[in-house]
């Protein structure tokens, strides 16, 4: 920690009502959707770019850590302030500044919630596609910070594909305009792209220019069941490699199916794997073609197609099990908590089924429960570790399980995080796999933030052991 | 602080994945804007109290009481975490530790003395029929309205039996006076003529179904919907908006019934931006009207403005607390009228 934070000074910048060092507020802002916990010294809610600039000038001069925070829905401890300091709660900077349908872009403040942006775009027949599952609360600033993506990223890409430019406040308070409003720009370093996925370590996004695209007129969703997860894995790989264009391609393993059936009584077929496949577009013939292609591929790999529909209500019904999966996992068994660990690796398509099996094997070995599901069309495999979080030995087991799974993922050419980011809990494995990258990232970090005040101890600078990096947010008993 | 009630919620609090999905609809968070004001913030606060990492303070107590028990958080929750129940437990522990609001104490003493939240000697419009009717404190006080609502029941073929009722006990439970609640519940049970009865108030019916599992009450709307097709009704030809009370829509899942009735009596409903199980709260629940009236009214104002923006001149609802809170704001603005749906039914049966 640097020096004592000067609350009065912060109040003079943003106003008394927008600063708090109340212990209860600090306690709440010390956690997010991860397993970590560590209190900031103060929480500030800036309203303007000038507020952010002045706060940064002060923090930089006094060497006080500053952690930008959107909804705090990061799963790896992104906004947990390891060293205390100032949490910049960006949620009050939430105005949609401009929507230009004629130029297909919008300018927004960083606290705008993804779903709110999509609601505003809908009357224009447009949408902003990379939305994560958390889009109802995730902010555009946080999505850029994490390079978020979601169920439709298989077709439409991730946040990085939609950021045209931004206004960024650097660690020393300097305001810079990055990128452009046009689709193309060939004018030196694409620094706005560097900020995507930077997890709040390089600057504070105070405005973003995002492109959007027309909403598809038609959507069709299908469900195929498989008796063996290998068959499902083969079908997924085949769908992708034949050039079919799914707008969603999701996998659920038997644990996910069981969770949904036993806790929510959803009546999903009792099989080893389910694949949900969707196509969208403007013309029915084209969508039909994609759906038939995917259906035939599923059948070729011993899948049974149980449902296929254009009807919105029917699609909701087909998707209900997947949608409710999180809730179901949280309720899998009394006393078990659904912890965000090893939650979003990505592996080559050909390794999807093998990865799922490896996850089950490791879980069994360490006495925890793990499921394998996810946006397999985009290569993302989600899992959660279900364990008794009050038991110390379960955490040790989880630590070994995480390590072993990542070792496997890296050995087959996969990566640590497909969408949720690295921050604290994924840093040890990621650092091990990307040794060559770390000095380059540190050089960039030093150039933009020489005093290391922006979200310090994350990514390449995170502690070597996630389990002891911060206190856990769970009440672990001896 | 000695933790007695919150202990039972430790596993539930571990189930919360802290995803923040409950930011989306929380009316208190929308007004106050700090994460501590959101449902997740409250889950974290109660966890801190449970583990002892957080000291109870006047500020913490205020935050724990700044909740309208609207259940929007539970509805949207990734894990169906029952935040209002957890907060009720936290309140009970805080009360045991001596954190008592004078206003709460006063209210509960009134109930103890007179059997109702107004602390007045209220005479119920006694009817010696067959089916016991529980009016609830608010309708008991609005005796002329209560008379009309009983007439509705008579017109649809029910013979109401009005008895010397007392408050269902909800304020004890919601404000954290669990020990006193147990005692009050015994008295409430004693006065009930039967386990099956019709309840006129949304809050009472929700609380009774939750806290007296042995009882089998029906909500008035269920009965009206069942029997209205058998009687002659006048089509009112009105255009209104309907505000779903939290306890009815999210609490009991009754979203369709009120709309069916409005259709039957020729009332067109222009829907608010959020409706049914996703409807925004009026701010009047959870004791907020007593704990922080200003906040409760701000929440109501937001909801009422949505109704005004629809261009209708009447908002109907069923909950007498919604009616009160929204009605108070409406009276100040003179742009929209707030009415109970039962009043429209009475008009249609006149
Ligand atoms: C239930 C659940 C489901 C999820 N599903 C998905 C999913 O499908 N796909 C996915 O990608 N993610 C998912 N996530 C993870 C997370 O919600 C997203 O990555 C989301 O984009 C984070 O947004 P946020 O506003 O919560 O950001 P935060 O968590 O607050 O911040 C994320 C990062 O961005 C930085 N940041 C925030 N604002 C700014 C700013 N203005 N300037 C600079 N940096 C900033 C922060 O410092 C932090 O490092 C999920 C999370 C949960 C809990
Ligand atoms: S939505 Fe539910 S699980 Fe998520 S933070 Fe809120 S209470 Fe917790
Ligand atoms: S019950 Fe309503 S007011 Fe209370 S925390 Fe949940 S959403 Fe917010």
The rounded Å distance from CA B20 to ligand 2 centre is: 6
CATH number for position A156:
3.30.465.10
The whole-angstrom separation of Cα A61 and Cα A470 is 26
Q: How confident is the model at residue B78 (pLDDT cuts 50, 70, 90)?
A: confident
CATH number for position A368:
3.30.70.2740
| Among the listed residues B95, B92, B75, the one whose alpha carbon sits nearest the alpha carbon of residue B27 | B75
A407: distance to nearest CA of chain B, Å? 26
Cβ–Cβ gap A330/B79 under 8 Å:
yes
Determine the 3-state secondary structure of B107 from DSSP: helix
Share of chain B above pLDDT 70, in %: 100
Cβ–Cβ gap A29/B20 under 8 Å:
no
Q: Find residue B337's DSSP bridge partners.
A: B314
Check whether residue A426 and residue A463 sit in a common domain: yes
* Residue A142 domain-assigned (yes or no): yes
| Among the listed residues A48, A13, A76, A12, the one whose alpha carbon sits nearest the alpha carbon of residue A455 | A76
The whole-angstrom separation of Cα A68 and Cα A27 is 16
Residue nearest to atom 2 of ligand 3 (CA): B70
Do strands A105-108 and A96-100 pair parallel, antiparallel, or not at all (unpaired)?
antiparallel
Q: ∠A399-A401-A405 over CA atoms, to 5°?
A: 120
Cβ–Cβ gap B14/A71 under 8 Å:
no
Q: Select the more confidently predicted residue: A326 or B231.
A: B231
DSSP one-letter code for B337: E
Index of the ligand 1 atom closest to the CA of residue A140: 25
- For A330, which of B20, B48, B78 is closest by C-beta distance? B78
| Among the listed residues B321, B317, B315, B270, the one whose alpha carbon sits nearest the alpha carbon of residue B297 | B321
Residue A268 token pair: 């999903």
DSSP one-letter code for B177: -
Check whether residue A211 and residue A315 sit in a common domain: no
* pLDDT attached to residue A325: 86
Q: Which residue of A has its CA nearest to B62?
A: A24
* CB B284 within 8 Å of CB B300: yes
Residue B1 has pLDDT above 90, yes or no: no
Whether B126 contacts chain A with CB within 8 A:
no
Whether A25 contacts chain B with CB within 8 A:
yes
The whole-angstrom separation of Cα A129 and Cα A153 is 7
Check whether residue A136 and residue A235 sit in a common domain: no
| Among the listed residues B204, B246, B200, the one whose alpha carbon sits nearest the alpha carbon of residue B223 | B200
* CB A68 within 8 Å of CB A204: yes
* Residue A477 domain-assigned (yes or no): no
Please, where are the H alpha helices in chain B? 10-15, 27-32, 39-51, 58-65, 72-76, 83-96, 102-114, 137-141, 143-155, 170-175, 178-191, 202-211, 220-227, 246, 252, 256-264, 288-291, 293-309, 320-333, 341-349
Q: Count how many domains chain A has.
A: 3
> What ligand has the least distance to the C-alpha of B247?
3
* Residue A476 domain-assigned (yes or no): no
* CB B127 within 8 Å of CB B150: yes
Index of the ligand 2 atom closest to the CA of residue B76: 1
Residue A345 token pair: 């690796």
Which residues, in sequence order, are CB contacts of A179 under 8 Å at separation 6+? A163, A164, A165, A166, A185, A190, A191, A192, A193, A209
- For A137, which of B21, B53, B59 is closest by C-beta distance? B21
Residue-range domains of chain B with CATH: 6-96 (1.10.1060.10), 127-225 (3.40.50), 232-349 (3.40.50.1860)
Burial class (CB in 10 A: 0-12, 13-18, 19+), B54: buried
Q: Is B216 in the pocket of ligand 2 (CB under 6 A)?
A: no
Domain termination site, one of A327, A348, A380: A327
Q: Is B87 in the pocket of ligand 2 (CB under 6 A)?
A: no
In this structure, what is the dihedral angle of CA atoms B193, B198, B199, B202, given to the nearest 10 degrees? 150
The distance in angstroms from the start CA to the end CA of chain A is: 29
Q: Find residue A66's DSSP bridge partners.
A: A86, A454
**Residue A177 belongs to what domain range?**
1-215
Check whether residue A153 and residue A7 sit in a common domain: yes
Check whether residue A333 and residue A357 sit in a common domain: yes
Check whether residue A192 and residue A233 sit in a common domain: no
* pLDDT attached to residue B176: 97
Whether A327 contacts chain B with CB within 8 A:
yes
Q: Find residue A276's DSSP bridge partners.
A: A223, A250
Residue A60 token pair: 């930089």
Do strands A66-69 and A86-89 pair parallel, antiparallel, or not at all (unpaired)?
parallel
* CB A163 within 8 Å of CB A196: yes
- φ, ψ for residue A88, nearest 5 deg: -95, 100
Determine the 3-state secondary structure of B221 from DSSP: helix
- φ, ψ for residue A465, nearest 5 deg: -125, 110
Cβ–Cβ gap A134/B19 under 8 Å:
yes
The whole-angstrom separation of Cα A393 and Cα A403 is 15
Check whether residue A252 and residue A345 sit in a common domain: no
User: With contacts defined as CB-CB under 8 Å, which chain A residues touch B46?
Assistant: none
Q: What is the ipTM of this complex?
A: 0.95
Domain termination site, one of A215, A232, A250: A215
Check whether residue A243 and residue A346 sit in a common domain: no
Check whether residue A333 and residue A297 sit in a common domain: no
Check whether residue A118 and residue A201 sit in a common domain: yes
Q: ∠A265-A269-A270 over CA atoms, to 5°?
A: 90
* Residue A376 domain-assigned (yes or no): yes
| Among the listed residues A175, A141, A168, the one whose alpha carbon sits nearest the alpha carbon of residue A69 | A141
* Residue A189 domain-assigned (yes or no): yes
| Among the listed residues A308, A296, A86, the one whose alpha carbon sits nearest the alpha carbon of residue A218 | A308
B64: distance to nearest CA of chain A, Å? 11
The rounded Å distance from CA A417 to ligand 1 centre is: 13
**Where do we find the tokens 């650097």?**
A170
The rounded Å distance from CA A376 to ligand 2 centre is: 26
Cβ–Cβ gap A136/B48 under 8 Å:
no
Residues, chain B, total?
Answer: 350
| Among the listed residues B335, B276, B256, the one whose alpha carbon sits nearest the alpha carbon of residue B76 | B276
* pLDDT attached to residue A3: 64
Mean residue pLDDT across chain B: 97
The whole-angstrom separation of Cα A10 and Cα A51 is 9
- Mutation pick from A14, A18, A19, A24 vs chain B, by most beta carbons of B within 10 Å, is A24
| Among the listed residues B125, B167, B131, B116, the one whose alpha carbon sits nearest the alpha carbon of residue B148 | B125
DSSP one-letter code for B207: H
Domain termination site, one of A269, A295, A327: A327
Cβ–Cβ gap A45/B34 under 8 Å:
yes
Residue B181 token pair: 């609640």
Cβ–Cβ gap B45/A28 under 8 Å:
yes
* Residue A474 domain-assigned (yes or no): no
Q: Is A150 in the pocket of ligand 1 (CB under 6 A)?
A: yes
Q: What is the SS3 assignment for chain A?
A: CCCCCCHHHHHHHHCHHHEECCHHHHHHCCECCCCEECCCCEEECCCCHHHHHHHHHHHHHHCCCEEEECCCCCCCCCCCCCCCCEEEEHHHCCCEEEEECCCCEEEECCCCEHHHHHHHHHHHCEECCCCCCCCCCCEHHHHHHHCCCCCCHHHHCCHHHCEEEEEEECCCCCEEEEECCCCCCCCCCCHHHHHCCCCCCCCEEEEEEEECEECCCEEEEEEEEECCHHHHHHHHHHHHHCCCCCCEEEEEEHHHHHHHHHHHCCCCCCCCEEEEEEEEECCHHHHHHHHHHHHHHHHHCCCEEEEEECCHHHHHHHHHHHHCHHHHHHCCCCCCEEECCCCEEECCHHHHHHHHHHHHHHHHHHCCEECCEECHHHCEEECCEEECCCEHHHHHHHHHHHHHHHHHHHHCCCECCCCCCCCCCCHHHHHHHCCCHHHHHHHHHHHHCCCCCECCCCHHHCCCCHHHHCCECCCCEC
Cβ–Cβ gap A326/B78 under 8 Å:
yes
CATH number for position A251:
3.30.70.2190
Residues, chain A, total?
Answer: 478
A161: distance to nearest CA of chain B, Å? 25
The whole-angstrom separation of Cα B144 and Cα B155 is 17
The whole-angstrom separation of Cα A208 and Cα B81 is 34
Other beta carbons within 10 angstroms of residue A306's beta carbon come to 14
User: With contacts defined as CB-CB under 8 Å, which chain A residues touch B45?
Assistant: 24, 27-28
Cβ–Cβ gap B11/A29 under 8 Å:
no
B285: distance to nearest CA of chain A, Å? 24
The whole-angstrom separation of Cα B148 and Cα B122 is 17
Check whether residue A294 and residue A339 sit in a common domain: no
Check whether residue A316 and residue A343 sit in a common domain: no
Q: Is B44 in the pocket of ligand 2 (CB under 6 A)?
A: no
- For A330, which of B17, B45, B50 is closest by C-beta distance? B17
User: With contacts defined as CB-CB under 8 Å, which chain B residues touch A29?
Assistant: 35
pLDDT in tens, chain A (478 residues): 446 899 999 999 999 999 999 999 999 999 999 999 999 999 999 999 999 999 999 999 999 999 999 999 999 999 999 999 999 999 999 999 999 999 999 999 999 999 999 999 999 999 999 989 999 999 999 999 999 999 999 999 999 999 999 999 999 999 999 999 999 999 999 999 999 999 999 999 999 999 999 999 999 999 999 999 999 999 999 999 998 999 999 999 999 999 888 877 888 999 999 999 999 999 999 999 999 999 999 999 999 999 999 999 999 999 988 888 877 888 888 899 999 998 899 999 889 889 999 999 999 999 999 999 989 888 899 988 999 999 999 999 999 999 999 999 999 999 999 999 999 999 999 999 999 999 999 999 999 999 999 999 999 999 999 999 999 999 999 7
Other beta carbons within 10 angstroms of residue B121's beta carbon come to 9
Q: Which residue of B has its CA nearest to A35?
A: B17
């Amino acid at each position: 920690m640097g020096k004592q934070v000067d609350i009065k000074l912060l109040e003079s910048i943003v106003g008394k009502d927008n600063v708090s060092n109340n212990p209860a507020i600090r306690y709440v802002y010390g956690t997010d959707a991860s397993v970590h916990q560590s209190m900031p010294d103060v929480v500030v809610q800036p309203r303007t770019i000038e507020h952010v600039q002045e706060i940064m000038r002060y923090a930089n001069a006094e060497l006080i850590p500053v952690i930008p925070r959107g909804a705090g829905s990061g799963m790896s401890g992104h906004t947990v302030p390891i060293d205390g300091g100032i949490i910049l709660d960006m949620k009050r900077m939430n105005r949609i500044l401009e929507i230009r349908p004629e130029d297909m872009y919008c300018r927004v403040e960083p606290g705008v919630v993804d779903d709110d942006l999509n609601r505003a775009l809908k009357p224009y027949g447009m949408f902003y596609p990379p939305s994560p599952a958390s889009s109802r609360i995730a902010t555009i600033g946080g999505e850029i910070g994490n390079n978020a993506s979601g169920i439709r990223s298989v077709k439409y890409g991730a946040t990085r594909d939609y950021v045209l430019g931004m206004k960024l406040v650097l660690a020393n308070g300097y305001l810079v305009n990055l990128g452009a409003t046009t689709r193309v720009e060939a004018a030196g370093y694409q620094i706005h792209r560097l900020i995507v996925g930077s997890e709040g370590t390089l600057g504070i996004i105070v405005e973003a220019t995002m492109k959007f695209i027309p909403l598809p007129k038609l959507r069709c969703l299908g469900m195929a069941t498989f008796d063996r997860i290998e068959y499902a894995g083969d079908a997924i790989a085949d769908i992708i490699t034949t050039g079919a264009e799914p707008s969603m391609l999701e996998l659920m393993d038997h644990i996910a199916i069981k969770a949904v059936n036993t806790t929510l009584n959803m009546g999903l077929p009792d099989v080893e794997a389910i694949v949900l496949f969707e196509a969208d577009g403007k013309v029915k013939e084209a969508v039909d073609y994609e759906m038939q292609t995917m259906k035939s591929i599923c059948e070729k790999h011993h899948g049974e197609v149980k449902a296929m529909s254009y009807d919105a209500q029917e699609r909701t019904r087909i998707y209900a099990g997947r949608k409710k999966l999180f809730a179901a996992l949280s309720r899998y068994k009394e006393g078990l908590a659904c912890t965000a660990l090893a939650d979003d690796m990505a592996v080559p398509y050909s390794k999807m089924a093998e990865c799922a099996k490896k996850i089950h094997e490791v879980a069994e070995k360490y006495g925890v429960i793990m499921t394998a599901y996810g946006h397999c069309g985009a290569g993302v495999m989600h899992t959660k570790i279900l364990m008794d979080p009050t038991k110390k030995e379960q955490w040790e087991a989880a630590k070994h399980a995480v390590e072993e799974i990542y070792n496997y993922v890296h050995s087959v050419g996969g990566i640590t995080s497909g969408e949720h980011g690295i921050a604290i809990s994924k840093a040890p494995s990621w650092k091990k796999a990307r040794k060559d990258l770390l000095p380059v990232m540190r050089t960039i970090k030093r150039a933009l933030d020489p005093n290391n005040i922006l979200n310090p101890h994350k990514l390449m600078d995170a502690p070597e052991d996630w389990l002891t990096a911060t206190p856990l947010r769970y009440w672990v008993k001896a | 602080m000695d933790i007695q009630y919150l202990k039972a919620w430790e596993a539930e609090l571990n189930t919360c994945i802290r995803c923040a999905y409950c930011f989306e609809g929380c009316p208190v968070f929308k007004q106050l804007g700090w994460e501590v004001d959101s449902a997740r913030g409250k889950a974290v606060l109660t966890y801190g109290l449970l583990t002892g990492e957080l000291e109870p303070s006047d500020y913490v107590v205020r935050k724990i009481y700044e909740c309208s028990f609207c259940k929007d958080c539970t509805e949207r929750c990734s894990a169906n975490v029952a935040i209002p129940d957890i907060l009720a437990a936290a309140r009970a522990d805080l009360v045991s530790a001596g954190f008592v609001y004078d206003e709460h104490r006063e209210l509960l003493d009134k109930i103890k003395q007179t059997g109702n939240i107004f602390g007045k000697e209220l005479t119920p419009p006694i009817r010696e029929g067959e089916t016991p009717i529980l009016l609830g404190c608010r309708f008991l006080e609005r005796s002329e309205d209560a008379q009309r609502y009983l007439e509705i029941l008579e017109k649809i073929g029910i013979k109401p039996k009005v008895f010397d009722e007392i408050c269902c006990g909800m304020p004890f439970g919601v404000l954290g006076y669990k020990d006193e609640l147990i005692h009050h519940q015994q008295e409430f049970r004693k006065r009930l003529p039967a386990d099956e009865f019709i309840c006129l108030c949304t809050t009472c019916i929700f609380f009774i179904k939750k806290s007296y599992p042995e009882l089998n009450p029906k909500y008035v709307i269920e009965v009206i919907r069942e029997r209205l097709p058998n009687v002659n009704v006048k089509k009112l030809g009105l255009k209104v908006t309907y505000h779903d009370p939290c306890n009815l829509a999210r609490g009991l899942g009754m979203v369709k019934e009120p709309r069916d009735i409005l259709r039957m009596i020729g009332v067109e409903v222009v829907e608010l931006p959020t409706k049914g199980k996703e409807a925004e709260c009026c701010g009047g629940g959870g004791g907020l009207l007593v704990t922080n009236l200003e906040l409760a009214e701000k929440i109501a104002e937001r909801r009422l403005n949505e109704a005004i923006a629809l261009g209708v001149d009447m908002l109907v609802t069923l909950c007498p607390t919604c009616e009160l809170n929204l009605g108070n704001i409406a009276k100040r603005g003179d742009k929209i009228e707030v009415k109970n749906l039962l009043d429209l039914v009475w008009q249609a049966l006149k």
